[in-house]
A and B are shown apart, each in its own frame.
Chain A
Amino acid sequence: MSQISRARPYLNPYLAGTFLGVVLFLAFFITGSGLGASGGLNLLLVYVQNEVNPSHVDQVAYLLKMAGGNTNPLDSWIVFLTVGTVIGGFISGLLGRRMKFETNKGPQISNGTRWLMAFIGGALMGYGARLARGCTSGQALSGGAVLSVGSWAFMFAVFAGAYALAYFFRKFWN
């Protein structure tokens, strides 16, 4: 996939934020629950685990409640929300002519280094999201909007963790 013509610029952040806020409100208004992303990935993973090694799933309490016995982990609204998110990103990328195979990184590191960092960062994100019972979408954004104390504490912790180490990783991004 090559860049056919020039990519359209991203939305003004305040406009994008307003759209996101309206989507979040509608999600609450229609379903009573907010948005999320890590939950869907979690259930997809458990589905694969259950296909590969069902007896292991049946032995681990944490996995059992999602896929034990005849429970189908894909039979959940969260999975559909996640699949929708990917499709929505794809549509928006097409409309904005931003579909392109590329690696975004600072100029001082190689693609391989960037991919490795992305994998490590992703692993930390996945682990932390399960520990915190939610990710930036489900906890910070959704829980923040409905004024959960834990979600606000979580949000500050995410920013604190990232800002605290930003200096040490400046070479990767700048």
Chain B
Amino acid sequence: MATFPLPLADLLGHWGSYIVYGMIGIAFGMTLESAGFGNSKLLAAQFYFKDMRVFKVMFTAIIVAMTLIFLSSSVGLLDYNLIWVPPTYLWPGIVGGLIMGVGFIIGGFCPGTSLVGMATGKLDAISFVFGVLFGIYMFGETVSGFAVFFDSSDMGRFTLPELFDTSYGIVVFSIVVAALAIFLVAEKVEAAVNKRPQQRLPAWTRPAAAALVALAVVVVFAGQPSNADRWQVIAAESQALLDQRKVQIAPAELLNYMNDSKIKVLPLDVRDERYYNQFHLRGAVHVPLERVQEKARELHFELANTIFVTISNDETAATEAWKILKAESIPNLYILEGGINAWLDTYAADSFTQDERVSLRQEDQLAYRFNAATGSRHRAADPHPDFLDLKYEPKVILELKRAPTSGGCG
């Protein structure tokens, strides 16, 4: 799991890695063309129920790819958290989809198929490609007029199992079965519309369909790795980082990065709300320990130059949160060494540390008294830059972001 996705740029160099994408593109183009998608008449026939090829090819591809993806994820070959799942912007997506549907029936292609149509000399495809370029150009010129709508109904990374509150396996299985059933209906519809007897399917299709259903059943019963499973995979390596204190960064190092304009620091404060209200660092986001795992989804969308730092009063809860987020493949993840207590020891005024110190306290409790909810208005929440010259042992090593930041239409 540790090497997913393949670090192509490290292996082949910046431009070398693009060769791999070029080869994937070639395979993509070859399958599209050999499926008949370079021919607009065949594509349009879908919408008159004469030849439901678009439907068959597309849904076969979806169920095959989907089953393989979640099977690989079940056995730990692939990390679903690092897969690019197009974020859901519901209404712009639906309106854009309707416009594209209209474009499809008028123009006879979609952007991908028009490329292979163009490559095989179809003149209507060439005209279509110029149309696409014009449409994209017009969008760039007009989007500022409806920017609010374009960014509306943003639901982030939102998946069908989350929508239906069920497991990934159940959704995968249901889609496979539904698609196969629809294929049978499509065969009957084609025969009826073309007034011919139903075509016999090639002999291999039945065992292939059965095999796909069987794999989907495996996905159901194997399940997707839980956070605990994912931790097990990385436990040896990651526990060593904790034990050797390679990820606990000193307050001074954190402050240094908080004042570095090239780096974005996201302090994740995992303490109880009352502690957070009493005092927290500038820019700290309150994420109670029980909500850390769901927060991971959003964190994957942060910029590549973001450092995540988990914070509790000492280190106990922060270490728990670190393990959860580490298992969810969050990059550049650190713990504030000694927690808020060490931070206050370092940066609060001497009068404060002397007068407000709590004599007896339990682990991971606040070592200082706050008489009011000062939040981040406390002077120690954003210490004066003079403190920046404190010495510390640097531990942060920025790693390249592993999760893709855009899909093929980015």
Question: Which residue of A30, A83, A143, A173 is within 8 Å of B5 (Cβ)?
Answer: A30
- Whether B409 contacts A37 by the Cβ 8 Å rule is yes
Tell me the interface secondary structure of chain A in the complex.
helix
Residue B155 interfacial (CB < 8 Å): yes
Q: How far is the CB of B28 from the nearest CB of chain A, in Å?
A: 5
Docked Cα-Cα span, A27 to B64, in Å, equals 13
Q: How far is the CB of B65 from the nearest CB of chain A, in Å?
A: 4
Q: Which residues from chain B contact A19 at a C-beta distance below 8 Å? A: 31, 34
- Whether A145 contacts B130 by the Cβ 8 Å rule is no
0/1 per residue, A124-155, Cβ < 8 Å to B? 11111111111111111111111111111111
Q: Which residues from chain B contact A20 at a C-beta distance below 8 Å? A: 28, 31-32, 35, 57, 60-61, 64
Q: How far is the CB of A160 from the nearest CB of chain B, in Å?
A: 6
Question: Which residue of B64, B131, B141, B144 is within 8 Å of A17 (Cβ)?
Answer: B64
Residue among B80, B83, B99, B134 having the largest count of chain A Cβ atoms under 10 Å:
B99
- Whether B135 contacts A157 by the Cβ 8 Å rule is no
Question: Which residue of B18, B57, B127 is within 8 Å of A13 (Cβ)?
Answer: B57
In the complex, residue of chain B having the shortest beta-carbon distance to the beta carbon of A79: B18
Question: Which residue of B6, B62, B409 is within 8 Å of A145 (Cβ)?
Answer: B62
- Whether B409 contacts A129 by the Cβ 8 Å rule is yes
Residue B121 interfacial (CB < 8 Å): yes
Q: How far is the CB of B44 from the nearest CB of chain A, in Å?
A: 4
Q: Which residues from chain A contact B255 at a C-beta distance below 8 Å? A: none
Tell me which residues from 1 to 36 in chain A have a Cβ below 8 Å from any Cβ of chain B: 1, 10-36
Q: Which residues from chain A contact B410 at a C-beta distance below 8 Å? A: 36, 39, 78, 138
Residue B394 interfacial (CB < 8 Å): no
Residue among B47, B77, B168, B408 having the largest count of chain A Cβ atoms under 10 Å:
B408
Docked Cα-Cα span, A119 to B159, in Å, equals 35
Docked Cα-Cα span, A111 to B285, in Å, equals 61
0/1 per residue, B50-93, Cβ < 8 Å to A? 00010011111111111011001000011010111111111011
Docked Cα-Cα span, A157 to B88, in Å, equals 14
Docked Cα-Cα span, A25 to B128, in Å, equals 28
Docked Cα-Cα span, A39 to B24, in Å, equals 15
Q: How far is the CB of A17 from the nearest CB of chain B, in Å?
A: 3
Tell me the interface secondary structure of chain B in the complex.
helix
- Given the known interface contacts A17-B59, A160-B101, the answer about A101 and B121 at a Cβ–Cβ threshold of 8 Å is yes
- Whether A60 contacts B140 by the Cβ 8 Å rule is yes
- Whether A121 contacts B109 by the Cβ 8 Å rule is yes
- Whether A131 contacts B139 by the Cβ 8 Å rule is yes
- Whether A88 contacts B28 by the Cβ 8 Å rule is yes
Docked Cα-Cα span, A152 to B116, in Å, equals 24
- Whether B78 contacts A28 by the Cβ 8 Å rule is yes
Binds A, one of B200-208, B304-312, B356-364, B380-388: B200-208
0/1 per residue, B145-160, Cβ < 8 Å to A? 0000010000101111
- Whether B115 contacts A102 by the Cβ 8 Å rule is no
Binds A, one of B225-233, B258-266, B330-338, B399-407: B399-407
- Whether A126 contacts B160 by the Cβ 8 Å rule is no
Q: How far is the CB of A58 from the nearest CB of chain B, in Å?
A: 13
Residue A69 interfacial (CB < 8 Å): no
Q: Which residues from chain A contact B257 at a C-beta distance below 8 Å? A: none
- Given the known interface contacts A86-B116, A136-B100, A169-B106, the answer about A11 and B34 at a Cβ–Cβ threshold of 8 Å is yes
Chain A residues at the B interface, C-beta cutoff of 8 Å:
1, 10-42, 44-46, 49, 60-63, 77-78, 80-93, 96, 98-106, 111, 114-166, 169-170, 172-174
Known: A84-B25, A88-B30, A93-B38. 7 other contacts (CB 8 A): A14-B201, A16-B34, A20-B61, A25-B69, A92-B116, A119-B128, A173-B47
Chain B residues at the A interface, C-beta cutoff of 8 Å:
4-6, 8, 17-36, 38-42, 44-48, 53, 56-66, 68-69, 72, 77-78, 80, 82-90, 92-125, 127-141, 143-144, 150, 155, 157-163, 168, 171-172, 183, 201-202, 205, 208, 402-404, 406-410
Task: Show 10 A/B contacts (Cβ-Cβ < 8 Å), sorted by A.
Answer: A28-B69, A86-B25, A93-B121, A121-B102, A121-B104, A127-B138, A133-B96, A141-B62, A162-B46, A166-B48
